[in-house]
A = this chain, B = another copy of it.
Amino acid sequence: MLGMMQDWEMRVSALLDYAASEQPEREIVTHWADGSETRTDWRGLRRDALKMVQALRRLDVYPEARVATLGMNHARHLTAWFGVTGAGCVLHTINPRLFDDQLDYIVNHAQDRVLLYDAAFQPIVDRMKPRWPTIEHYICFDSGEHAPAFEDWIGREDGAAFWSPGDEHQPCMLCYTSGTTGHPKGVLYSNRTNVLHTLAMIAPSCLAIEPRSCVLPVVPMFHANNWGLPWACAATGAKMVYSQVNDPEVLCRLMEQERVSHVGGVPTVWFSLFQHLDETGADLPPFKVALSGGSAVPYSVVERLMRNGVRVMQAWGMTETSPIATVTWEPPEWDDMSFEEQVAYKSSQGRQVFGSEVRVVSLDGGGAELPHDGTSAGALQVRGGWTIRRYFGETDDATGGGQWFETGDVATISPSGVLRLTDRTKDLIKSGGEWISSVELENAAVRHPDVLEAAAIGVPHPRWTERPVLVVVRRPGAALSEEDLCGFLSGMVAKWWLPDAVEFVAAIPHTGSGKVSKKELRALYRDYRLPA
């Protein structure tokens, strides 16, 4: 026996229909790289997306085909999100910071048939074209110099079309992640998982996005489903602000000018924002909610945001989890917590969102679930309504028993369910049979006022197997010494965790998605000789 309610397929196109019906004139603002600004609204965006559906059909690009984008954040890219998925095709957002071999691999693996790209990436297109045989059509988001221009391409259509109907389990989006070893792997989201993730993330205990919100996703659109923000904004008809460039001055002006309420960015975004404010003496524009993820946001950054009245929502997740799985929702005792306790909680990875489950299991084989005691660090696993089952094109599931997916992160869970990442599995430093958390070392180091950035890696040691070396970027003008820093750290971490050496450098290498590249760092220090 089944319930007797209506059939209702959860399709991402329905989100756009809702926005266009309820808030047709709510704007989507774009700041372009050339400094110009354009405005459309949900009604306009829907009309353009429908035109794009027609334009794709005219190219014989039909449901299930992969349509790729190589673009920064702007309204035309957003139109492509809804146009591609509305045509029943799969939107493949490519990270332009990938290396050529990766760009080669993922386009051929996805068998992309169309590529829409920013003119700024013309060099990539020119270089890669011979290696991308599956791509039949190139469309340029900006000008029509080297390829048909997007506006011209859809401009020939009248928009009198319908979304491609279908099952909610049909795919709508493909994001590759290079967070794992080997080739990048594709995560194929379905319409259903994106709608469910949307409903979870607009909740008051998550982002609290509602019709009055104005959302500025600084996180790139090619990054992990743009954190789900386009879908979440459509689901409420919220205003959106996109910038093709990440200049903090531009971002601050947009926040003021457009009355932004929600900003989503990785920790680097907050760093550069604060640096800009310090340099100019300006105030933080008055936005309400900061969604931070991608890597751990330091205590000091959380503190500064909170002192400015911002509600900090640190979330943990991965491309494989759509991405939000846990978030720092405020518990009932929130108002009774001291400011320091509040900041400390907001510096954690938060708690489960309904629809996602996390657990930590023993690192040393066996996989026994570890207690929620806040100290037992184990391999973090996740499962739920918007977590991956199998990578695109693979024949085996990426999950183990009970659908648990191995995240590669190391974490503890407190008795009240607070998740704290202590490391990535492969970034742990094993010293004398014990684990040292590079993340905790780094977090401790960046609390020193003279430290701009810090990364800890393990280097081979004859006696202890590995010992930590801390690579540090000093604040400009600061005269911090190794002794100073180790003295500072000794109050915060166990004595045997103290680094055997501190290396002061001008810059630390980052990955294409802006995270510290431990891989590159390890390569750089491969032949490093620890002081005797």
A386 in contact with B212 given A204-B204, A417-B22 (CB within 8 Å): no
Contact present for A212 and B334 (CB under 8 Å): yes
Residue in B190, B202, B351 whose beta carbon sits within 8 Å of that of A22 in the complex: B351
Of the listed stretches A2-10, A338-346, A465-473, chain B binds A2-10
Neighbouring B residues of A322 by C-beta, 8 Å: 5
Complex interface: chain B residues within 8 A of A191 (CB): 3
Contact of A18 among B190, B235, B334, B354 (CB under 8 A): B354
Q: Which one of B3, B18, B22, B170 contacts A2 once the chains associate, using CB atoms below 8 Å? A: B170
Complex-state Cα separation, A269 to B287, whole angstroms: 38
CA separation between A49 and B384, bound complex, in Å? 23
- Chain B proximity mask over A202-242: 1 for CB below 8 Å, otherwise 0: 11110011111000000000000000000000011001000
Tell me the A373-406 residues at the B interface (CB within 8 Å): 383-392, 399, 403
Is the beta-carbon distance between A171 and B212 smaller than 8 angstroms?
A: no
Contact B2 A171 (CB under 8 A): yes
Question: What CA separation (Å) do A200 and B200 show in the bound complex?
Answer: 9
A384 touches B6 (CB 8 A): yes
A3-54 residues at the B interface, CB under 8 angstroms = 3-8, 10, 14-15, 18, 21-23, 26
Q: How far is B203's CA from A205's CA once the two chains are assembled, in angstroms?
A: 9
Extra 12 A-B pairs, beta carbons < 8 Å, given A3-B193, A6-B384, A6-B387? A2-B167, A3-B169, A3-B188, A4-B388, A5-B188, A15-B354, A21-B417, A199-B200, A199-B203, A203-B210, A204-B209, A212-B331
Q: Is A172 an interface residue (CB 8 A)?
A: yes
A409 at the interface (CB under 8 A from B): no
A151 touches B (CB below 8 Å):
no
Q: Check A329 for interface membership: any CB of B closer than 8 A.
A: yes
Q: Which 10 A-B pairs have the closest CB atoms?
A: A3-B190, A8-B385, A199-B199, A205-B210, A204-B210, A3-B171, A4-B188, A5-B193, A2-B169, A6-B389
A192 proximity list for chain B (CB < 8 A): 3, 5
Residue pair A5, B389 in contact (C-beta under 8 Å): yes
Bound Cα distance A334, B23 (Å): 13
In the complex, what's the smallest C-beta–C-beta distance from A204 to chain B, in angstroms? Answer: 4
**Separation of A149 and B169 alpha carbons in the complex (Å):** 46
Interface: A440 (CB within 8 A): no
Chain B residue numbers with a CB within 8 Å of A199 are 196, 199-200, 203
Q: Is A332 an interface residue (CB 8 A)?
A: yes
Q: Is A412 an interface residue (CB 8 A)?
A: no
Q: Do the beta carbons of B204 and A203 come within 8 Å of each other?
A: yes
- Beta-carbon nearest neighbor of A329 in chain B: B211
Residue A407 lies at the interface, judged by CB distance under 8 Å to chain B: no
Select the residue from A22, A192, A200 with max chain B CB neighbours within 10 A: A22
Question: How many copies of the chain does the oligomer comprise?
Answer: 2
The reply to whether B332 and A211 contact each other, CB–CB distance below 8 Å, is yes
Query: Cβ of A524 < 8 Å from any Cβ of B?
Result: no
Minimum distance in angstroms from A139 CB to a CB of chain B: 23
Q: Is A330 part of the contact surface with B, judged by Cβ < 8 Å?
A: yes
Complexed CA–CA distance, A211 and B6 (Å): 30
Q: A22-B352, A332-B23 are in contact. Are A384 and B8 (CB under 8 A)?
A: yes
| Closest CB in chain B relative to A257 CB, distance in Å | 16
Chain B residues lying within 8 Å of A169, measured Cβ to Cβ, are 2-3
CA distance A209 to B202 in the complex (A): 12
Q: When the two chains form the complex, which single residue of B4, B64, B208, B330 contacts A211, counting CB atoms closer than 8 Å?
A: B330
Q: What is the CA–CA distance of A199 and B180 in the complex, to the nearest angstrom? A: 32
A85 to chain B, nearest CB (A): 12
A189 at the interface (CB under 8 A from B): yes
The answer, yes or no, to whether A1 is at the interface (CB within 8 Å) is: yes
- Min Cβ gap A122→B in Å is 32
Bound-state Cα–Cα, A15 to B200, Å:
13
> What residues on B are CB-neighbors of A190 within 8 Å?
2-5
Quick one: which of B3, B205, B354, B383 contacts A172, CB cutoff 8 A? B3
Point out the residues of chain B lying under 8 angstroms from A204, CB to CB. 202-204, 208-210
Complex Cα gap A6–B391 (Å): 11
Chain B residues, CB < 8 A from A21:
352, 417
> Please, what's the 1-or-0 string for A308-330, where 1 marks a CB less than 8 Å from any CB in chain B?
00000000000000100000011
A99 → chain B closest CB, angstroms: 25
Residues of B within 8 A of A26 (CB): 332
**Can you list, as one digit per residue, whether each of A333-368 has a CB less than 8 Å from chain B (1) or not (0)?**
010000000000000000110110000000000000
Give the residues in chain B near A351, CB-CB below 8 Å: 22
- The answer to whether A170 touches B417, judged by C-beta atoms less than 8 angstroms apart, is no
Q: Within 8 Å CB of A170, what residues of B?
A: 1-3
15 A-B residue pairings within 8 Å (CB atoms): A1-B170, A2-B169, A3-B169, A4-B190, A5-B190, A5-B193, A5-B388, A6-B385, A6-B399, A18-B352, A21-B417, A22-B352, A202-B204, A210-B330, A211-B330
Partner of A203, one of B167, B202, B334: B202
Contact B205 A4 (CB under 8 A): no
